[in-house]
Each structure stands twice: as C-alpha cells, then as structure tokens.
C-alpha cells in the first residue's frame, strides 16, 4: 500500500532527511505544502487532496478538514502541542492524531532558561546597543539564588527546574495535576503564592479552555514589580493587552516571549513596541537534535499505522472505537 504524505511542518523540511528516507522506504510519497505551516483551512484542504497522512505544523485540523479530506488517516503533529487539532472531531471521523512528546523538552528548557538569563541581564539590549555603535552600562538583575516559579511542571517544566538547581534557585510550582504526587526539589503551591514570591515566572502549561488568558492584569499585579515573565508554552495562556499594559506601567520588570496568540506575530502588533520585552519567533524547540527527533517520531507513527500497527503517542485513543476508523489494523 502506497501512502501520500503531506509535510507542512518547517522543522521536518529542515531536519527530516533521514525520516523522509524512512517514509519513502516504507512506500510513501512525501510532498511539501507550497509554504510551511500553519496553513489556512482552505490551503490545507487543497494541499491534502489525495493524502493519507500529514506531518503537521500547527495547522487547523477540525471537522471541516476531516470531512473535506476523506483519504486522510493520520495527523502526525511534528511537535508536542495539539491545541490546533480537534481531537473529538478527529476521533469521530476516524482520523488518528499523534504528537512527539519528549522530543523537544531539553531544547525548550535550554531556551526558556536562556531567555530568563537574557532578559535579567539585558543581553539583547546590549547586543542591539553595540551593533548600533553605542556603548553604555545596562543594569541587570541576578538569577543565582533567586526564586523561580513554574506554571506547569510537565517534561519541560521539570527540565527547567533541573537547570535552576545549578543556579541554587528556589523553585516553586503550580500544577494541580502533580501537586499531590510532588516532584523532588520543587515546592508546590497555589498560583497566587507563586506569583507573589517568584522573581521569575515561567509558563509551561498546555493551552486548554481552563488556561486560556490565565495570565491577565490581575495575575501581573500579583507579581513583584522586579519580577520577569517568560512564556515558551502557548500564546493563548496570556492576555497580551494586559501584558503590554503591565510592561508599560512598570507593573512587572520585563517579559520574554517565544509564543503568541497570533503566529506569525503581525509586523504592526503592539507587542513589538512594548518596553523591556524580549521577543523570539516561536523558536524554542528549534535545536538540531530536537527537530531530528521530532521528524523521526512523526515518521514512525505514520509507518506504524501504514503497516497495521497502533502507533505510540496517540492523542485521541477514542479513535480506535470509532466505526469510522479510516485505517486497518
């Protein structure tokens, strides 16, 4: 059986040569979308014509897509976030959805900790100053021995905590799902206490209806005026208007962001003009080792399903009970 596999994930385009070879060896034809994702719904429907699988960016996979693309059997997210996939609609349509958990944890943790160091010591401002021909002192804040608050303590949050130990930081965490079980070296507490006591607040929670906009004006006012906010999780966690106000009013000392409610971030978005704010283009995952592993895992899930096996990392296990299941096991 030959499958046509669409790739919309830029990471796979760049780092997926070995994974693509494995797909081709399994009998797949691999094609790229005209541009890297996320694609619009109309672009996605056109690109998916005749495709049984997709190695997906954060494109919108919903009931309309599944109804319009009857050949599609699997959405293999080349990443950990699955908020762009309607899991209920996928299961009802008989489409398997997978992701690549763990593939990028260390890379994102490196990036989050690096952003924290950068915003604390104004490294980005110093670089811009030097490149413009300037020279001046830029006062910063220490990271060593301070308090780090982690909102969400999954694989990435725990990896950030490991890095914080080397800086002798006190690590607080808010994660109701893990609070009772606990994690060695991390103090679990309520969100208000974390915000009031942390010098750095780093977001690592998933995007869900419950977490949407959780970082709003009230939360920023709970933070110390000397505290910094870092987000490498999902833009949906943050009310960006409230964050901009908090930066402009000095409610918090600064922020470092890698994710946004709209991506790519529009060129005229007010965040681009916000003071004391380090902005990155959703790049935390993008270490060579992590993108190669993401590509490999994405390809393996497709090959497994093609060859009649249940792949690992299925995000909508209810699909196996769907009478509409589009593949044979």
Write out the catalytic residue numbers: 234, 263, 282
CB under 8 A, 24+ apart: contacts of 271-276: 271/240, 271/243, 271/244, 274/243, 274/244, 274/247, 274/248, 275/247, 275/248, 276/119, 276/247
- Secondary structure letter of residue 61 according to DSSP: B
Residue 322: exposure state from Cβ atoms within 10 A (0-12, 13-18, ≥19):
middle
Beta bridge partners of 4: 29
Strands 254-257 vs 228-231: parallel, antiparallel or unpaired: parallel
Going by C-alpha positions, the residue among 141, 188, 181, 191 that lies closest to residue 161 is 188
- Secondary structure letter of residue 310 according to DSSP: P
Kindly give, in sequence order, each residue whose CB lies less than 8 Å from that of residue 140, ignoring residues fewer than 6 positions away.
Answer: 120, 121, 122
Kindly give, in sequence order, each residue whose CB lies less than 8 Å from that of residue 148, ignoring residues fewer than 6 positions away.
Answer: 116, 160, 161, 164, 169, 170, 171, 172, 198, 199, 200, 202
Question: Tokens 């010591």 identify what position?
Answer: 121
Alpha-carbon distance of 322 to 172, in angstroms, equals 42
Helix (H) or strand (E) holding 29: strand 28-32
Alpha-carbon distance of 22 to 304, in angstroms, equals 12
Going by C-alpha positions, the residue among 161, 158, 187 that lies closest to residue 174 is 187
Alpha-carbon distance of 204 to 234, in angstroms, equals 8
């Amino acid at each position: 059986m030959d499958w046509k596999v669409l790739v919309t994930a830029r990471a796979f385009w760049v780092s997926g040569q070995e994974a693509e070879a494995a797909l081709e060896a399994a009998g797949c034809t691999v094609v790229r979308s005209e541009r890297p994702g996320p694609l619009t719904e109309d672009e996605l429907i056109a690109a998916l014509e005749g495709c049984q699988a997709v190695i997906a960016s954060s494109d919108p996979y919903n009931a309309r897509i599944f109804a319009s693309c009857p050949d599609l059997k699997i959405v293999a997210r080349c990443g950990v976030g699955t908020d762009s996939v309607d899991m209920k609609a996928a299961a009802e349509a008989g489409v398997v959805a997978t992701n690549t958990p763990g593939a990028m944890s260390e890379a994102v943790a490196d990036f989050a900790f690096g952003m924290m160091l950068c915003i604390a010591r104004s490294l980005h401002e110093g670089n811009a100053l030097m490149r413009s021909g300037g020279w001046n002192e830029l006062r910063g804040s220490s990271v060593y021995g301070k308090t780090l608050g982690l909102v969400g303590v999954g694989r990435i949050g725990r990896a950030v905590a490991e890095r914080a130990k080397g800086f002798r930081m006190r690590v607080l965490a808010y994660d109701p799902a893990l609070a009772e079980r606990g994690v060695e070296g991390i103090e679990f507490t309520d969100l208000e206490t974390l915000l009031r006591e942390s010098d750095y607040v780093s977001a690592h929670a998933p995007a869900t209806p419950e977490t949407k906009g959780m970082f709003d004006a009230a939360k920023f006012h709970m933070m110390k005026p000397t505290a910094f906010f870092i987000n490498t999780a999902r833009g949906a966690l943050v009310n960006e208007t409230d964050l901009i106000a908090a930066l402009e009013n000095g409610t918090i000392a600064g922020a470092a962001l890698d994710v946004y409610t709209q991506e790519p971030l529009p060129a005229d978005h007010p965040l681009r003009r916000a003071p004391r704010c380090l902005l990155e283009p959703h790049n935390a995952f993008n270490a060579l080792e992590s993108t190669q592993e993401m590509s490999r895992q994405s390809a393996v899930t497709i090959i497994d399903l093609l060859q009649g096996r249940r792949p690992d990392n299925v995000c909508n296990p209810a699909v196996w009970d769907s009478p509409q299941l589009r593949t044979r096991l």
